[in-house]
Structure 1
Amino acid sequence: MAAASSSSRVKKSHVFPSFHGPDVRRGFLSHLHKYFTTNKITAFKDQEMERGNTIGPMLVQAIREATVSIVVLSTNYASSSWCLDELVEILKCKEVSGQIVMPVFYEVDPSDVRKQRGDVGIAFEKSCQGRTEEEKQRWSRALADVATIAGEHSINWTDEAAMLEKLSRDVSNKLKVELLKEQFRSLDVDQTGFISVPELRYAMESIGEKITGDEVKEMIREVDLDGDGRLNYDEFAKVMMAKDGSQITDDEVKSAIQGGDVDGDGRLNYDEFVKVMIK
């Protein structure tokens, strides 16, 4: 196939996977994509991209626009300067914009990744040949940092399919949480970290619902756990899940959305949330 132009517009994806193709593309990655498809998760695919010495603008854009990056750290991952540059950019996005980074230690020990030793160290040395000390240090720091992030270890699983299913489910839950946060922020017009009576009333009136301030206060009072007359994030999340009749804990509040998805796309848009609130 022809290489995609670096100036082409990248379709925004939920997930950016960083991996060493020969290690995982045909098995691990292809199966993971199947689970993603089942869960309506879109992942960036680089098959049409021409690989060079450095990652180009198109790839940088794909990384920055993803909500989640999955870094599949296999034996030969560090042998690719391309992979290492991706990793540096991914960790930059984690620090700057809070991107979610999920490492998978695929038949490698996290401590070997962190210290660049063993087979991982041999692969890393290949990438470092002819490189400046600055580049080596940047890559080394990135490997050390990603190895400290909690992730899946293939060695702990006897059934790879079960691991992939769990990974896909975890990604799906994290995406739902991010969407919920976006909805909360959109309603929190003054960005105080709370949804107030005027903000919720305005949201309802914006979709044609006639409602008084007292009626909005009563709605908030029913779910206002701390009694301060407004909704914080946890209270907002509980509203979303309780509307579906789910039995939830405080931790589960932050891990998924269970109700109010009118169009069945697996997430709540602005209108869906407001309509759920007035049921």
Structure 2
Amino acid sequence: MAATGGSGASTTQYDVFLSFRGPDTRNTFTDYLYRTMVGQGIVAYRDSEELHAGDRIDDLLRAVGESKICIPILSRGYASSAWCLRELARVTELHELIGKPEILPIFFDVAPTDVKLRTKLYLKDLKKHEQRHGAKMRQRWEAALGKVAEIKGWEVQGKAQGEVIELIVKEVLHKLKVKQRPLDNKSVGVDKQVEAIMDLLDVDSGTGVRFVGIYGMGGIGKTTLAKNVFNELCLHFDGQCSFIGNIRESSKGNGLVKSLQKQLASDISDSRFVENFGNTDEGIDSITRRASSKKVLIVLDDLDKKELLKKLVGA
């Protein structure tokens, strides 16, 4: 998921930037969240407090600007850290200016009212910061806290932390999947075609399996149409979606068919930990097991043989 580049235009290097106060959550909640995200293939930036002070702020602020999502973990001691408040101010200002990173706050052992400064919890820390950093800096940091407090996030206090972390990681995966597949440039009439396909799929009409085939001569926009339908519908499936492209070329040889099966099984279960299949029948069984109790969306592009359809999605 990471993209790197040389000098010039800025490129996104991180999926997620974690903003947290080390003594509060580094070795507990934040560590568990970080390891879970990394295990799911999410490229996360976790600040190292061992960096030299002179280099640290530039490194931190650059990482903020190179991230798609920022997750501030708002703990009771968060506002006591000038580093945390600098990060948060940078995040909110960039979000307002260029629309990224997206902000997903976690209210760890505080309430949104604390972050809105309606209680004394953060106010006492801000008063201390004002004495050292000045009134303008305090106003900037107060504004950042106020903006984040208005965003719907997760409240952890009184809940099972493992369950909350699963929800957070699922949401991050969902957002990254949708954003990784930008809409193709739409050609004339494609909106009506998308609507027609969505009507055929009728995803809100209860249970059952629906197959819709899009066929025709090469170059008429079948893949563009499929991608646009996929992006329109993905939000309805809680991230349980898979778009597998260029199947005709990718499936040459039995080993490559098993690789496609593994990709599909991984996509619809939101897991990077999928076993290697001994044969394609094992792959069919695994996909069936993973999909049978879920609502999933699967798009198979450039599919030219019925045998491949059976090997990827069974009956």
Using the size of structure 2 for normalisation, the TM-score is 0.61
Alignment match, 2:229: 235
Query: What's the offset of the Cα at 1:58?
Result: 1.7
Read off the aligned partner of 2:94 and give its amino acid letter.
C
For residues 168-221 of structure 1, give each alpha carbon's deviation from its aligned partner in whole angstroms, at most 9, with x where no partner exists. Answer: 11111111111012xx2xx42xxxxx2569xxxxxxxxxxxxxxx95443737x
Matched residue count: 221
Check if 1:152 corresponds to 2:148.
no
Which of 217, 220, 231 is the matching residue for 1:217?
220
CA distance in 2, matches of 1:232, 1:91: 35
Query: 2:243 aligned with 1:259, yes or no?
Result: yes
Q: Secondary structure at the match of 1:26?
A: coil
Q: How does 1:94-173 map to 2 (within 5 A)?
A: 94-98=95-99, 99-115=101-117, 117-155=119-157, 157-173=158-174
Specify the code of the residue in structure 1 equivalent to 2:20: F
Q: Following the alignment from structure 1 to structure 2, what is the Cα–Cα distance between the partners of residues 52 and 233? A: 46
Contact 1:80–1:127, Cα closer than 8 Å, also in 2? no
Amino acid at match of 2:231: A
Where do 5+ consecutive residues of structure 2 fail to align?
Answer: 1-10, 190-215, 246-259, 268-298, 304-315
2:301 equivalent to 1:277: yes
Give the distance between the partners of 2:126 and 2:238, measured in 1 at CA: 38
Q: Does residue 24 in structure 1 map to residue 25 in structure 2?
A: yes
Question: Residue 72 of structure 1 aligns to a residue in which SS?
Answer: strand
After superposition, what is the alpha-carbon deviation per residue over 1:21-41, rounded to whole angstroms, capped at 9, x for unaligned? Answer: 101101001111221122111
- Once the two structures are superposed, residues 211-240 of structure 1 have per-residue CA deviations (whole angstroms, 9 ceiling, x without a partner) of xx95443737xxxxxxxxx749752425xx
- Against the structure 1 CA distance between its residues 96 and 232, is the aligned structure 2 distance closer, same or farther, given a 3 Å change threshold? farther
Once the two structures are superposed, what CA deviation does each residue of 1:216-268 show, in whole Å capped at 9, x if it has no partner? 43737xxxxxxxxx749752425xxxxxxxxxx6742685642317584978x
Q: 1:233 to 1:219 in 2, by over 3 A?
A: closer
Indicate the RMSD between aligned Cα atoms, in angstroms.
Answer: 3.4
Relative to 1, partners in 2 of residues 1:41 and 1:250: Cα closer, same or farther, differing over 3 Å? closer
- 1:216 to 1:254, Cα distance in 2 relative to 1, 3 A: farther
Which ranges in structure 1 are unaligned for 5 or more consecutive residues? Answer: 1-9, 189-193, 198-212, 221-229, 239-248, 268-274
Q: Secondary structure of the residue that 1:14 maps to in structure 2?
A: strand
Q: Residue 109 and residue 32 in structure 1: after superposition, are their counterparts in 2 closer, same or farther (change >3 A)?
A: same
Distance 1:53 1:79, change over 3 A: farther
Question: How far did residue 114 of structure 1 move?
Answer: 0.8
* Cα distance change of structure 1 residues 121 and 54 upon mapping to structure 2, 3 Å threshold: farther
Check whether the contact 2:19–2:87 (CA below 8 A) recurs between aligned residues: yes
Distance 1:233 1:102 in 2: 27
Tell me the distance in 2 between the aligned counterparts of 1:30 and 1:160: 12
Q: Which amino acid aligns with 1:252?
A: H
| Structure 1 residue aligned with 2:311 | none
Structure 1 residues 233 and 110 mapped into 2: Cα distance closer, same or farther (>3 Å)?
Answer: farther
Q: Which letter does structure 2 place at the counterpart of 1:83?
A: C
The percent of aligned pairs where both chains have the same amino acid is: 26
Offset of residue 17 of structure 1: 0.3
2:18–2:47 Cα contact (<8 Å) kept: no
* Residue identity in the other structure for 2:82: S
Structure 1 residues 116, 143: closer, same or farther in 2, change over 3 A? Answer: farther
* Structure 2 CA distance for partners of 1:134 and 1:256, relative to 1, 3 Å: farther
Distance 1:232 1:276 in 2: 9
Say which SS state the counterpart of residue 45 (structure 2) adopts.
coil
1: CA distance, partners of 2:126 / 2:219: 59
1:87 paired to 2:93 = no
Deviations 1:89-143 (A, max 9, x none): 1112212232211000011010111126322222332322222221111001000
CA distance in 2 between counterparts of 1:128 and 1:113 reads: 17
